[in-house]
Copies of this chain bind each other. A is one copy, B any other.
Amino acid sequence: MARADGLKIGVVGATGVVGEILLRALERRRFPVGELRPFSSGRDPKARVRFRGKPIPAPGISEAALAACDLLFFVSSDEVSKARAERLARAGVWVIDDSSAFRMQANVPLVIPEVNAHALSAGARLIAGPNCTVTGAAVAGHPLHRAVGVRRVRMASYQAVSGAGREALRELYAQARSSAKNLEGGDLFPRLAARRSSALPRPIAFNIFPQVGSFRPGGECGEEIKVRDELRKIWGAPELAISATTVRVPVVRGHSLALWLETARPLSPARARALLKNKPGVRLWPEGEYPTPAEADGSDPVHVGRVRASGAHPNELSLWVVSDNLLKGAALNSVQIAELLLKKGWLRAR
């Protein structure tokens, strides 16, 4: 990768929750960053990030600075991506966008490297990474889909608060701290659930709520629609029938999924486990054990456990899937896409 040593890598949203995780992933995976250009909203003139042990200023975006990069990671808002990503890609910059702005656009590959690396091409310089909730289902279900054809998916999610950003995390912590005072008295049913919330639609400490994103006609929320649309695109399965119920739970990192996969042809749990074992990006847990967010927090793979026959349909399996929403669900997946571009020789210093 000698020719890549001089790569100029820009990170738009470098001071955000995912930005921070992305920088750590670039370091840890020894991505050949020649020069790092972190960008922030520009509201804080002293904004900076740490990279390879050094502080680096993270100024606001300037068109010239963005256009001078070889590769840009967008880990900011849909609006920021929408305003700039396409123009920069047309100008020759590789853009890996973690927002939902372009995921469903036909000319934009929506990529999880372990699942559909083939969707990448030398000419499509704007690449989208998927929603953090669909990732676990897409990675864990794909080997089974390839083997016997998944026809119908039911999915209930248990989503970490970090998926909603920094202010939501602060809100969880503040609610948990204030509830903790009520835990001292020895009362078996202390007053716990917070009464107010602002970053999230409902109180989250000692509570859960079935809403991620806003509701649409028909009664689904935004996240549930993303899961359906994106899974179909990533698997190349436009006919796939999917229903998701997406729920926020008081967990910091790690989205968990209860997943039912109804298949065209029968598949035993034993064969499903054999298909999942040693698959890149998957950690299959032994029978009788299972992952929880505590184990997935800070870990790269999609964790799969409780692979069993579903009692609801003869051709159906049930799985329990947990992945770190900030790593495989966001930052890590983007870095893996960049690694693929390097490997193919498409990403190089200009």
Chain A contacts to B: CB under 8 angstroms: 17, 20, 152-154, 156, 158, 162, 166, 169, 173, 176-177, 179-180, 183-184, 188-190, 192-193, 202-203, 206-211, 215, 218-220, 228, 241-243, 245, 247, 249-253, 256, 258, 260, 262, 269, 287-288, 290, 292-294, 297, 305-313, 316, 318, 320
Shortest distance between the CB of A334 and any CB in chain B (Å)? 19
Report copies per complex: 2
Given A293-B207, A311-B243, do A258 and B156 touch, yes or no (CB 8 Å)? yes
User: Are B243 and A292 closer than 8 Å at their CB atoms?
Assistant: no
User: Are B188 and A183 closer than 8 Å at their CB atoms?
Assistant: no
User: Are B309 and A218 closer than 8 Å at their CB atoms?
Assistant: yes
User: Are A297 and B193 closer than 8 Å at their CB atoms?
Assistant: yes
In whole angstroms, how far apart are the Cα atoms of A252 and B262 in the complex?
Answer: 34
Shortest distance between the CB of A343 and any CB in chain B (Å)? 31
User: B residues within 8 A CB of A320?
Assistant: 210, 245
User: Are B243 and A293 closer than 8 Å at their CB atoms?
Assistant: no
User: Are A312 and B245 closer than 8 Å at their CB atoms?
Assistant: no
In whole angstroms, how far apart are the Cα atoms of A220 and B20 in the complex?
Answer: 39
In whole angstroms, how far apart are the Cα atoms of A24 and B262 in the complex?
Answer: 45
Given A158-B208, A241-B313, A243-B318, do A180 and B188 touch, yes or no (CB 8 Å)? no
User: Are A290 and B210 closer than 8 Å at their CB atoms?
Assistant: yes
User: Are A173 and B169 closer than 8 Å at their CB atoms?
Assistant: no
User: B residues within 8 A CB of A307?
Assistant: 219
Residue of A166, A169, A190, A256 with highest tally of chain B CB at under 10 A: A256
Shortest distance between the CB of A332 and any CB in chain B (Å)? 15
Partner of A219, one of B158, B177, B189, B287: B287
User: Are A207 and B153 closer than 8 Å at their CB atoms?
Assistant: no
User: Are A202 and B292 closer than 8 Å at their CB atoms?
Assistant: yes
User: Are B242 and A192 closer than 8 Å at their CB atoms?
Assistant: no
In whole angstroms, how far apart are the Cα atoms of A8 and B289 in the complex?
Answer: 48
Q: Name the residue on B nearest A161 (C-beta).
A: B206
Given A202-B294, A312-B241, do A177 and B184 touch, yes or no (CB 8 Å)? yes
User: Are B166 and A188 closer than 8 Å at their CB atoms?
Assistant: yes
In whole angstroms, how far apart are the Cα atoms of A118 and B20 in the complex?
Answer: 61
User: B residues within 8 A CB of A251?
Assistant: 206-208
In whole angstroms, how far apart are the Cα atoms of A177 and B243 in the complex?
Answer: 37
Which 4 pairs of residues, A with B, have the shortest CB-CB distance?
A156-B156, A219-B308, A180-B180, A243-B312
In whole angstroms, how far apart are the Cα atoms of A167 and B306 in the complex?
Answer: 27
* 10 CB < 8 A contacts A-B: A156-B258, A158-B249, A177-B184, A180-B180, A206-B250, A208-B292, A209-B292, A210-B292, A243-B310, A245-B258
